[in-house]
């Protein structure tokens, strides 16, 4: 079988539609369709079934998916092997799996360092899916960023930064004093972020849910950016990471208040495959991430901080 078909197969197995698969492989839809036809002939199996609501892998497709991803990753790693890494001349592309808080807090400083030290290096930031950090690495991320408690113990890890949750409200909210107590926190309507539910953070979510006992959650958003926009334009209050709140309060009419009860800090971790630790390019990337995180510092969040807008 033509080895180029493995690239097409990997794209097909990881996309919801043939159009999406073609786009991810940077080929036309007709070319991807031709590749799928050849693959079906080779395996004597449909591999994937498309329908209006999405796609479904056949049992063979399900079995092929991790094996093809592993083969693609091994091929990529083989081609990436270098005795040295020169950031000034390198045209490498690093893939990071992140969430919106990491993109807001860390990515700007990380890119500032990279554009100066490695002007031709590219960064691709993809959404972190908590169905399994190891699954994300199978899908070709070089480094993933996860909240402590959701990490994969099989992977290497380093703490990137710590944060704590705070309350945000519109800067001219008529019903809020300088400090908020738990009873008042519960009495006001909220905008909330959709929580990640996994076995690893079940206890943390259970404890957090207890604090929300009786709270009226008027809207649930998928991102901290959307939540902050909602809060800035309504009488709703919300809870987001303090570092994220500080960034948003610079450009939105927001107040930042301490959470009504003490909460433990949350560590954000970087994780990667152990076998990559000795690679020159990975060493440089991890050192650069550490440099960006050092720039963040402790960054305490002052109580009742508000923007000047």
pLDDT, tens only, 140-152: 689 999 888 888 8
The per-residue pLDDT for 70 is 84
Place of tokens 């690093």: 94
Q: What angle do CA 103, 104, 109 make, to 5 degrees?
A: 80
What are the chain's domains?
Answer: 4-78 (1.10.10.10), 93-160+266-296 (3.40.190.10), 163-264 (3.40.190.10)
Q: Which residues of 207-223 are buried (b: 16+ CB within 10 A; e: fewer)?
A: eeeebeeebeeeeebeb
The per-residue pLDDT for 138 is 47
66 CB contacts (<8 Å, ≥6 apart)?
138
Q: How many CB atoms lie within 10 A of CB 40?
A: 13
First to last CA, the chain: 62
Check: CB of residue 68 under 8 Å from CB of residue 9: yes
The per-residue pLDDT for 305 is 37
Check: CB of residue 126 under 8 Å from CB of residue 234: no
Q: Which residues of 52-80 are buried (b: 16+ CB within 10 A; e: fewer)?
A: eeebebeeebeebbeebbeebbeeeeeeb
Mean pLDDT across the chain, nearest whole number? 84
d(CA 142, CA 276): 9
The per-residue pLDDT for 252 is 95
The per-residue pLDDT for 201 is 54
d(CA 118, CA 122): 9
pLDDT, tens only, 8-35: 899 899 988 898 888 888 888 898 999 9
- Secondary structure (DSSP) of 161-227: EEE-EEEEEETT-TT--SS--HHHHHHS-EEEEPPP--STTHHHHHHHHHHTTT--EEEEESSHHHH
Task: Note down pLDDT in tens along the chain; length 309 residues.
Answer: 676 788 889 989 998 889 888 888 888 889 899 999 999 999 999 999 998 878 899 999 999 999 888 887 777 766 656 568 899 999 999 999 988 899 999 999 999 999 999 999 999 988 766 555 555 554 568 999 988 888 888 889 999 999 999 999 999 998 887 788 888 899 999 999 887 655 555 566 676 777 888 889 999 998 999 999 999 999 999 999 999 999 999 999 999 999 998 888 889 999 998 878 888 899 999 999 999 998 886 443 333 333 333
The per-residue pLDDT for 295 is 84
DSSP 237: B
């Amino acid at each position: 079988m033509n080895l180029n078909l493995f690239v097409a197969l990997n794209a097909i197995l990881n996309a919801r539609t043939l159009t999406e698969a073609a786009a991810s492989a940077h080929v036309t839809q007709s070319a991807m369709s031709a590749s799928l036809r050849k693959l079906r002939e080779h395996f004597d199996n449909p591999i994937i079934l498309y329908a209006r609501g999405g796609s479904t892998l056949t049992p063979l497709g399900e079995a092929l998916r991790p094996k093809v991803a592993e083969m693609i990753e091994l091929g990529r790693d083989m081609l990436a092997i270098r005795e040295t890494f020169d950031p000034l001349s390198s045209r490498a592309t690093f893939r990071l799996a992140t969430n919106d808080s990491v993109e807001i807090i860390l990515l700007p400083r990380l890119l500032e360092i990279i554009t100066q030290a490695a002007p031709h290096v590219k960064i691709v930031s993809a959404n972190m899916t908590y169905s399994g950090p190891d699954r994300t690495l199978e899908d070709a991320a070089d480094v993933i960023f996860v909240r402590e408690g959701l990490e994969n113990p099989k992977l290497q890890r380093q703490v990137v930064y710590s944060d704590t949750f705070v309350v945000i409200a519109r800067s001219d909210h008529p019903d809020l004093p300088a400090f908020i107590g738990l009873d008042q926190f519960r009495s006001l309507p909220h905008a909330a972020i959709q929580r990640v539910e996994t076995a690893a953070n079940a206890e943390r979510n259970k404890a957090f849910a207890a604090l929300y006992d009786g709270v009226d959650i008027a809207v649930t958003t998928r991102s901290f950016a959307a939540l902050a926009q909602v809060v800035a334009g309504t009488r709703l209050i919300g809870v987001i990471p303090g570092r994220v709140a500080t960034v948003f309060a610079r450009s939105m009419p927001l107040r930042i208040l301490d959470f009504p009860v003490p909460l433990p800090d949350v560590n954000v971790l970087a994780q990667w495959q152990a076998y990559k630790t000795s690679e020159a390019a990975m060493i440089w990337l991890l050192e650069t991430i550490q440099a960006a995180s050092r720039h963040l510092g402790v960054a305490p969040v002052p109580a009742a901080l508000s923007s000047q807008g």
